């Protein structure tokens, strides 16, 4: 009864079976295979001819499900009840090589006259399941990686999603600050096995140069995939028997080691190993492991950044605290400073008042001084007039204007004259000093030849020295040397110094006047071999009215003004007068003046 339309239907049917993506398997009511399309051939690994007419259950149903399958079919045929008909269910299938895999199954009863026919549509879910589990793994990992900023904790927690879904063993090693590896985590479902693995790692640390080991991965940054851990491989890596036994005990099957990267460098490695699951890792598992490691690396990087940021924040906070502290201190110092400033201001004020008082006192003293000098000046003047009269009249008497005199009378007149001369000297000294003190003495500074001054001094002093039987020497090396001085006053100084030398030197002593010049100074020294001046009196002799030893000076008493006047005169001409002396040996008075070119 093969009509044209039936032939066409049959061709269509064949074509549909051929192109269907899903597996289509038809069986009769006894379960024998009536149809097995190309997709079914590809999926289950049987050729159509092999299975046609044979019980389907023996081929594509996993052994542990076969009884249930037969029972279900029988129950349906008996009662018409079916739990699986017309539904999509997920079940396991079995390939010709024995592999069991997930399938989606829908069974329809083919509506047609005659004996019952079932059509089963099957779809291999292996890839879908794999993708789902990968997705689940990555999602789980992402959750864990995002959960904490403590990356060590994060890496440990990662074991929860990896074991056992993706690996039976999970280990993490980190590179420490010195570049050595530190095992952070080893996980397995069985704690006993974890202990064994820890023991293994402790007893037999990995050789740093072992190819394919963690050290190697960390050093090279290259991942390692060992699809099959063979006995031979174990033996080659074991080195020692004890280690080999431990390794064998763990029953390792397949392994991957992937580097962990953060901030551009390898910071550690994740090791994934299968054992009892018998799973074999392939390239795409390595891709997944690397994806996992990359996400973990990003989490580590984030954690490191966070640590850095928190550290700098802490540092900043610390600095802020320090700054606050410093600011407080500064404020305190500012307050102290303010107090000091106020105190200083008060002290300044007091000083100003004192200065004003001192100025007032000085003015008063100046006035008193001036009054004294005025008095001295006028007194000396007043004394000189009658003294001149005394001297004049005694000389008149001496030359006999009122008649001749006896020798005794001449003697008395000479005494009168000597005393009068002495008195006149004193008066002149006092007058001079008073003038200097009052600042009324005028200096006629000019270019004076030292040699000529010294020869005039010599003329004046020589008779005195001779009279006292003193040897004297003028070392006049200053011909053609000039000083800036008031000539009369300069002579007065030298006469003063030389007279003192004569006066304070015993008979037979020696007096020397020496002159030497430097580039800009002229120094003249009046030296004697006299009584000398005690060390503690050296400064005092220049004070007015100071006399070291009144007893010694012989008949002619001084006023104690000579040196005071001499030094004032020297200073008035821009020079100075100093002394050095040793008691019993003599004295050297040194006059220093500015040299004139
Ligand atoms: P006086 O008029 O008493 O000599 P001076 O002012 O000239 O006063 O000297 C002050 C004191 O310095 C003198 O009294 C004397 O004791 C001491 N004196 C001055 N020149 C000499 C000297 N060449 N040798 C020792 N003592 C001296």
What's the pLDDT tens digit per position in 319-330? Answer: 999 999 999 999
- Residue whose CA is closest, atom 11 of ligand 1? 547
Does residue 320 lie in a domain region?
A: no
Q: Is the pLDDT of residue 557 over 80?
A: no
Residue nearest to atom 19 of ligand 1 (CA): 500
CA 482 to centroid of ligand 1, rounded, Å: 28
**pLDDT: which is higher, 515 or 384:** 515
Give whole-number Cα distances, 212 to 148, 186, 217, 220, 221, in Å. Answer: 31, 18, 7, 10, 11
Domain end residue (candidates: 89, 124, 159): 124
Cα(39)–Cα(22) distance, integer angstroms: 6
Instruction: State residue 563's pLDDT score.
Output: 93
Distance 369 CA to ligand 1 centre (A): 24
Q: What pLDDT score does 552 carry?
A: 54
Q: What is the rounded average pLDDT for all residues in the chain?
A: 89
* CATH number for the domain that contains residue 412: 1.10.287.130
Question: Which CATH number goes with the domain that contains 176?
Answer: 3.30.450.40
Q: Where are the alpha helices (DSSP H) in 399-513?
A: 407-437, 450-467, 487-503
Burial class of residue 263 (count of CB atoms within 10 Å of its CB; 0-12, 13-18, 19+): exposed
159 and 105 co-located in one domain: no
Of the two residues 293 and 376, the one the predictor is more confident about is 293
Is residue 315 situated within a structural domain? no
80: left (phi over 0), alpha (psi -120 to 50) or beta: left
Question: pLDDT tens across 120-146, in order?
Answer: 999 999 999 989 988 888 898 888 888
Question: What's the angle, vertex CA 368, arms to CA 548 and CA 558, rounded to 5?
Answer: 25
Same-domain pairing of 138 and 231: yes
Instruction: Please spell the DSSP secondary structure of 140-156, one letter per residue.
Output: HHHHHHHH-S-HHHHHH
453 shares a domain with 576: yes
DSSP string, 277-311: T-----HHHHHHHHHHHHHHHHHHHHHHHHHHHHH
The phi and psi torsions of 48 (rounded to 5 degrees) equal: -50, -45
State the distance from the centre of ligand 1 to the C-alpha of 561, rounded, in angstroms.
9
Task: Report if residue 313 sits inside a domain.
Answer: no
Per mean pLDDT, which range of 74-88, 96-110, 503-517 is the poorest? 74-88
- Look at residues 370, 403, 438 and tell me which one is the last residue of a structural domain: 438
Verify that 78 and 194 share a domain, yes or no.
no
Whole-number pLDDT of residue 2? 62
Residue 38: pLDDT band (50, 70, 90) is: very high
Q: Distance, CA 553 to ligand 1 centroid (Å)? A: 8
What phi and psi, each to the nearest 5 degrees, are found at residue 37? Answer: -80, 170
Ligand 1 centroid to 419 CA: how many Å? Answer: 20
The predicted pLDDT at position 374 comes to: 81
Say yes or no: 152 and 289 in one domain: yes
> Residue 350 is encoded by which pair of tokens?
């007091």
- How many domains would you assign to the chain? 4
Q: What pLDDT score does 238 carry? A: 66
Residue 47: per-residue pLDDT: 96
- Nearest CA among 521, 514, 528 for reference residue 451: 514
Looking at the domain assignment, is residue 189 inside a domain?
Answer: yes
Q: How confident is the model at residue 179 (pLDDT cuts 50, 70, 90)?
A: confident
- What does the pLDDT look like over 267-318, one tens digit per residue? 999 999 999 988 899 999 999 999 999 999 998 898 888 889 999 999 999 9
pLDDT at 555 exceeding the cut of 50: no
Rounded average pLDDT over 230-245: 76
Q: Could you say which of 66, 93, 124 is where a domain stops?
A: 124
Q: Is residue 334 situated within a structural domain?
A: no
Dist CA 24 CA 118 (whole Å): 10
pLDDT higher than threshold 60 for residue 377: yes
Are residues 381 and 457 located together in one domain of the fold?
A: no
Domain assignment present for 333: no
Statement to judge: residues 36 and 173 lie in one domain: no
CB 299 within 8 A of CB 257: no
Which atom of ligand 1 sits closest to the CA of residue 552? 16
What's the average model confidence in pLDDT over 540-544?
88
CB-based contact 432:438 (threshold 8 Å): no
Judging by beta carbons within 10 Å of its beta carbon (0-12, 13-18, 19+), is residue 92 exposed, middle or buried?
middle
The rounded Å distance from CA 538 to ligand 1 centre is: 10
Whether 26 and 102 map to the same domain: the answer is yes
pLDDT band per the 50, 70, 90 thresholds, residue 236: confident
Burial class (CB in 10 A: 0-12, 13-18, 19+), 233: middle
Q: Residue-wise over 201-220: b if at least 16 C-beta within 10 A, else e? A: eeebebeeeeeebbbbbbee
Tokens of 450: 């030292």
Residue 399: inside a domain: yes
CA distance 596 to 446: 9
Q: Which atom of ligand 1 is nearest to the CA of 530?
A: 24
For residue 314, being part of any structural domain is answered with no
Q: Whose CA is nearest to atom 20 of ligand 1?
A: 500
| 496, 503, 513, 547, best to mutate for ligand 1 pocket (most atoms within 8 Å of CB) | 547
Q: pLDDT value at position 32?
A: 95
Best mutation site among 540, 562, 570, 580 for ligand 1 pocket (most ligand atoms within 8 Å of CB): 562
Q: What is the pTM of this model?
A: 0.49
What is the rounded CA–CA span in Å between residue 165 and residue 144? 15
Q: At what angle do helices 407-437 and 562-572 cross, to 10 degrees?
A: 40
Same domain as 174, residue 257: yes
Residues spanned by the domain of 561: 446-596
pLDDT at 226 over 70: yes
371 and 407 share a domain? yes
The reported pLDDT for the residue numbered 247 is: 78
pLDDT at residue 551 is higher than 70: no
Most distant CA atoms of the chain, gap in Å: 215
Give the CATH number, domain containing residue 503: 3.30.565.10
Q: Which residues line ligand 1 (CB under 6 A)?
A: 500-501, 504, 528, 530-533, 541, 546-549, 558-564, 587
Same domain, 409 and 450: no
Residue 344 has pLDDT above 90, yes or no: yes
Same domain, 287 and 196: yes
Instruction: Identify any residues that bridge with 102 across adjacent strands, giving them in sequence order.
Output: 92
């Amino acid at each position: 009864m093969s009509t044209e339309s039936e032939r066409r239907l049959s061709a269509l049917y064949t074509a549909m079976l051929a192109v269907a993506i899903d597996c289509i398997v038809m069986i009769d009511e006894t379960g024998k295979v009536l149809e097995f399309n190309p997709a079914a051939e590809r999926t289950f690994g049987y050729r159509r001819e092999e299975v046609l007419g044979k019980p389907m259950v023996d081929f594509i149903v996993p052994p542990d499900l076969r009884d249930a399958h037969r029972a279900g079919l029988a129950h349906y045929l008996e009662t018409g009840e079916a739990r699986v008909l017309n539904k999509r269910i997920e079940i396991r299938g079995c390939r010709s090589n024995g592999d069991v895999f997930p399938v989606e199954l829908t069974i329809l009863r083919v509506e047609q006259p005659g004996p019952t026919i079932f059509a089963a549509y099957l779809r291999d879910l292996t890839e879908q399941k794999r993708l789902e589990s990968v997705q689940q793994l990555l999602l789980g990992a992402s959750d864990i990686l995002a959960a904490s900023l403590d990356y060590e904790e994060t890496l440990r927690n990662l074991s929860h999603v990896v074991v056992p879904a993706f690996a039976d063993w999970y280990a993490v090693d980190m590179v420490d600050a010195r570049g050595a590896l530190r095992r952070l985590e080893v996980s397995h479902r069985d704690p006993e096995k974890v202990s064994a693995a820890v023991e293994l790692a402790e007893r037999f640390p990995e050789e740093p140069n072992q190819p394919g080991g963690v050290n190697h991965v960390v050093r090279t940054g290259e991942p390692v995939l060992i699809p099959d851990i063979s006995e031979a491989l174990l033996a080659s890596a074991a080195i020692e028997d004890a280690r080999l036994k431990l390794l064998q005990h763990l029953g390792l099957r397949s392994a991957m080691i992937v580097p962990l990267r953060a901030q551009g460098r390898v910071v550690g490695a994740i090791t994934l190993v299968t054992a009892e699951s018998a799973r074999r890792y392939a390239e795409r598992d390595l891709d997944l492991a690397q994806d996992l490691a990359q996400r973990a690396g990003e989490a580590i990087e984030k954690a490191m950044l966070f640590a850095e940021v928190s550290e700098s924040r802490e540092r900043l906070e610390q600095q802020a605290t320090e700054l606050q502290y410093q600011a407080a201190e500064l404020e305190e110092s500012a307050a102290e400073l303010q107090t000091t400033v106020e105190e200083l201001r008060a002290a300044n004020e007091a000083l100003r008042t004192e200065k004003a008082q001192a100025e007032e006192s000085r003015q008063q003293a100046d006035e008193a001084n001036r009054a004294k000098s005025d008095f001295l000046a006028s007194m000396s003047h007043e004394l000189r007039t009658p003294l001149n009269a005394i001297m004049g009249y005694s000389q008149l008497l001496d030359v006999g204007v009122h008649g001749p005199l006896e020798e005794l009378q001449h003697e008395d007149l000479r005494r009168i004259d000597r005393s009068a001369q002495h008195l006149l000297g004193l008066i002149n000294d006092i007058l001079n000093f008073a003038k200097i003190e009052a600042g009324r003495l005028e200096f006629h500074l000019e270019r004076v030849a030292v040699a000529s001054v010294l020869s005039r001094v010599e003329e004046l002093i020589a008779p005195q020295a001779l009279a006292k039987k003193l040897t004297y020497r003028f070392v006049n090396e200053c011909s053609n040397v000039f000083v800036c001085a008031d000539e009369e006053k300069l002579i007065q100084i030298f006469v003063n110094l030389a007279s003192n030398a004569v006066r304070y030197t015993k008979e037979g002593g020696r007096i020397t006047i020496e002159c030497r010049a430097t580039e800009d100074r002229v120094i003249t020294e009046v030296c004697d071999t006299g009584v000398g001046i005690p060390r503690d009196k050296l400064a005092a002799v220049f004070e007015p009215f100071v006399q070291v030893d009144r007893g010694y000076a012989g008949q002619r008493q001084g006023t104690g003004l000579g040196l005071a006047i001499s030094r004032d005169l020297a200073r008035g001409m821009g020079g100075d007068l100093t002394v050095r002396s040793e008691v019993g040996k003599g004295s050297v008075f040194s006059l220093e003046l500015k040299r004139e070119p």
